[in-house]
Structure 1
Amino acid sequence: MVTLTEVEDEHFQNTQAGPEVDDDDYSDTDSEISNESDYDPQDETLAERLYALRDIVPPTTRGWISSKINTVSNATWTALSFSGKATWVITTSALFFGVPFALSFAEDQQLTAMEQEYNMRQQGSELLTAGGDQTTADRIGAALGDEKDAKAAL
């Protein structure tokens, strides 16, 4: 019968020169799974999960994706900046030109209303002071009759 005897090499019996290494820090991950961890996958955010996947994507693809994201964000920033400036220009133009126009239009309307009121007062005073032999009712009827004749002529 054959018996096996382990013979250790002298090279493995001598320790290496260098710092003392504690072998307890190293463990074999295949031998057992530790259940003592406080890790809970439910506490992980979506951003943390996506950040953990960064090593799966090759660096060239990551660079391409990053450049596309930068291009889109720059275009969005430019569009928002331009629209904000355009809104500012339109608003200030409306204030500088629209408000004075609205005020002058309202003043013109007020002057027109005042002229109409003045003309109505003139007509009223003419009716009251015209001709001493007619009564006020006859004068109003005559004025209304003149209007009826004018409408019929049209």
Structure 2
Amino acid sequence: MVQLTEVVDEHFQEGQAGPEDEDDGDYTDTDSEISDDSDYDPENETFGERLYALRDIVPPQTRGYIAGKFNTATSAVKSVLSFSGKTLWVISSSALLLGVPWALAWAEEQQVLEMEKEMKMREMGGEILTGGNPNGGSSTAQQVGAALGGEAKPAL
């Protein structure tokens, strides 16, 4: 059977080399040097500073996980905003380059149609005023209706 015996090392029984007894007067405990003269004022501390001071409570793995999720969300928001801005730029520049000339051409076409309609009305008015009876004895209402392309209907 095995029997255990304790062997004492002579090195641990000797005294340590260090300061002499006369140097003990210079030695002070670090706890005794803490004073109340600090410029820390809890009233002036912001909420952000308090949260930042609590960072050591959260384990490093959890902090890394939270930071990773925050960075991912921030990146996604930046990407969406960038894509939205580029899309808005394409739509607005396309509207200016294509829509404005088309709107001007359409307005001009409407103006030409109105001018043609006004010319027809002037021709018709001139025939009525001069007494020219192109339909051979028809009334003025019938002439106006014929010029407009249909029968004259009484107003309600």
Q: Write the deviation string for residues 24-58 of structure 1: whole angstroms up to 9, x where unpaired.
A: 8x3348xx983x44432121111111111111111
Structure 2 vs 1, CA of residues 105 and 131 (structure 1 numbering), >3 Å: closer, same or farther?
closer
| TM-score, scaled to structure 2 | 0.68
| TM-score, scaled to structure 1 | 0.69
Deviation at 1:93, TM superposition (A): 0.9
Distance, in Å, in 1 between the alignment partners of 2:41 and 2:122 is 91
Report the identity percentage.
Answer: 46
Deviation at 1:109, TM superposition (A): 0.8
Corresponding residue of 1:112: 113
Corresponding residue of 2:98: 97
Structure 2 vs 1, CA of residues 50 and 28 (structure 1 numbering), >3 Å: closer, same or farther?
same
Distance, in Å, in 2 between the alignment partners of 1:129 and 1:122 is 11
1:1-154 equivalences under 5 Å are: 13=21, 15=23, 23=28, 26-28=30-32, 34=36, 36-131=37-132, 142-145=139-142, 147=145, 150-151=151-152
Distance, in Å, in 2 between the alignment partners of 1:60 and 1:127 is 96
Deviation at 1:96, TM superposition (A): 1.1
Structure 2 vs 1, CA of residues 109 and 131 (structure 1 numbering), >3 Å: closer, same or farther?
closer
Distance, in Å, in 1 between the alignment partners of 2:81 and 2:141 is 66
AA partner of residue 111 (structure 1): V
AA partner of residue 124 (structure 2): Q
SS in 1 for 2:31: coil
Unaligned 5+ runs, structure 1? 1-8, 133-138
Corresponding residue of 2:4: none
Q: Write the deviation string for residues 71-92 of structure 1: whole angstroms up to 9, x where unpaired.
A: 0000010010000001101111
Distance, in Å, in 1 between the alignment partners of 2:66 and 2:108 is 62
AA partner of residue 99 (structure 1): V
RMSD (Å), alpha carbons? 3.5
Q: Write the deviation string for residues 84-106 of structure 1: whole angstroms up to 9, x where unpaired.
A: 00110111111111101110110
Structure 2 vs 1, CA of residues 151 and 119 (structure 1 numbering), >3 Å: closer, same or farther?
closer
